[in-house]
């Protein structure tokens, strides 16, 4: 079962009005981590479930070549629109392919220095095929980057936003599936670490994303926006803060 393709209005919910072009705290933190762990040279990147190419465009701006592989033709169309609005130098470095990342063609194996799979595993009941694809697409010595919702912190978003009934149910059931969000399956970090390791990748590091800011629906007030990113970055690398982050960001290396 794929919860993304099963939810008819999910693309509209994902693309907030006026928000398609902007960046976000999770995107900025993710990019900082990728910059910190990646070698300083142009990389071949595959972004599995890369959707509207927001990450791909930022990686292409940094000089990398990116293939976005996404199951949803609507998301690929949004990616094409984003590329069409940008400079041709960026367009030339990004390729969009509509395909299910859980069923990979064998001839695509070992093509990438970096494989990203961000906010995608939660749409699969079984995350194993996507995790296997991510590792298979990676060259030996290359990196796999997974961002996924942290089920251990299921009540944090609703609790901090004062949606108390939701917080209570999340604590009672261990799931936030009853909230105003599309259905998903949030797989624990330890499960995904196990899958990556079975597929032949060793964990390099993990951090938390969205500790102080995830529950804010509106703009975040700050004298200097860099303070927000720096606070999130530092807390994301420290226990106990990272344990209650909305998402975990796992970096693994193909052995
Ligand atoms: C929440 S969006 C995340 C998009 C992007 N990775 C990001 O971090 O903003 C989830 C994306 O995963 C894609 N997706 C879900 N299941 C997939 C699968 N099995 N193979 C490829 N893409 C998938 C969806 O089409 C959607 O574009």
| 69 alpha carbon – ligand 1 mean position (Å) | 9
Q: How many domains does the chain have?
A: 1
Is there a domain that residue 210 lies in?
yes
What pLDDT score does 180 carry? 65
What pLDDT score does 184 carry? 83
Total Cβ atoms within 10 A of residue 17: 6
Give the percent of the chain with pLDDT over 90. Answer: 83
Total Cβ atoms within 10 A of residue 79: 24
What pLDDT score does 172 carry? 92
30, 54, 69, 70: which to mutate for ligand 1, most atoms within 8 A of CB?
Answer: 70
What pLDDT score does 18 carry? 53
The CATH number assigned to the domain holding 43 equals 3.40.50.150
Is there a domain that residue 162 lies in?
no
Is there a domain that residue 177 lies in?
no
Is the pLDDT at 98 greater than 60? The verdict is yes
71, 131, 147: which to mutate for ligand 1, most atoms within 8 A of CB?
Answer: 71
Is there a domain that residue 176 lies in?
no
**Cβ(122) to ligand 1 under 6 A?**
no
Is the pLDDT at 15 greater than 90? The verdict is no
**Cβ(131) to ligand 1 under 6 A?**
no
- The protein residue with its alpha carbon nearest to ligand 1, atom 27, reads 51
What's the pLDDT band for 13 if we cut at 50, 70, 90? confident
Is there a domain that residue 172 lies in?
no
Of residues 214 and 105, the one with the higher pLDDT is: 214
pLDDT one-digit tens code per residue, 169-212:
999 988 877 666 777 899 999 999 999 999 999 999 999 999 99
**Cβ(113) to ligand 1 under 6 A?**
no
**Cβ(206) to ligand 1 under 6 A?**
no
| 116 alpha carbon – ligand 1 mean position (Å) | 11
What pLDDT score does 12 carry? 84
Candidate from 12-16, 18-22, 85-89, 126-130 with smallest mean pLDDT: 18-22
What pLDDT score does 210 carry? 97
Terminal-residue alpha carbon distance, the chain? 30
Is there a domain that residue 181 lies in?
no
Question: What domain range includes position 223?
Answer: 10-152+186-254
What pLDDT score does 55 carry? 97
- The protein residue with its alpha carbon nearest to ligand 1, atom 24, reads 49
Close Cβ partners of 101 (under 8 Å, ≥ 6 residues apart): 48, 49, 69, 70, 71, 117, 120, 130, 133, 134
Is there a domain that residue 166 lies in?
no
CA distance 101 to 82: 22
Is there a domain that residue 127 lies in?
yes
- Contact of 129 with 102, CB cutoff 8 Å: yes
């Amino acid at each position: 079962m794929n919860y993304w393709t099963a939810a008819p209005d999910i693309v509209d919910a994902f693309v907030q009005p006026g928000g398609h072009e902007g960046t976000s705290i999770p995107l900025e933190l993710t990019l900082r981590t990728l910059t910190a762990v990646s070698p300083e040279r142009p990389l071949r990147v595959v972004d599995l479930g890369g959707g509207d190419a927001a990450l791909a465009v930022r990686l292409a701006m940094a000089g990398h070549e990116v293939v976005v592989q996404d199951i949803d033709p609507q998301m690929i169309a949004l990616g094409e629109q984003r590329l069409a609005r940008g400079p041709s130098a960026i367009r030339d470095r990004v390729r969009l392919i509509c395909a299910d990342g859980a069923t990979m063609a064998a001839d695509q194996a070992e093509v990438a220095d970096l494989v990203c799979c961000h906010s995608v595993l939660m749409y699969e009941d079984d995350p194993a095929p996507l995790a296997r694809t991510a590792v298979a697409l990676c060259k030996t010595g290359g990196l796999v980057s997974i961002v996924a919702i942290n089920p251990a912190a299921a009540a944090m978003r609703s609790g901090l936003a004062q949606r108390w009934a939701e917080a209570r149910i999340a604590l009672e059931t261990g799931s936030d599936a009853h909230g105003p969000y599309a259905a998903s399956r949030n797989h624990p970090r330890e499960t995904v670490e196990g899958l990556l390791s079975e597929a032949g990748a060793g964990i390099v590091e993990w951090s938390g994303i969205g500790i102080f800011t995830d529950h804010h629906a509106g703009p975040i007030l700050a004298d200097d926006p860099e303070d927000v990113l720096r606070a999130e970055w530092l807390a994301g690398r420290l226990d106990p803060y990272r344990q209650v982050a909305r998402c975990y960001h796992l970096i693994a290396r193909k052995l």
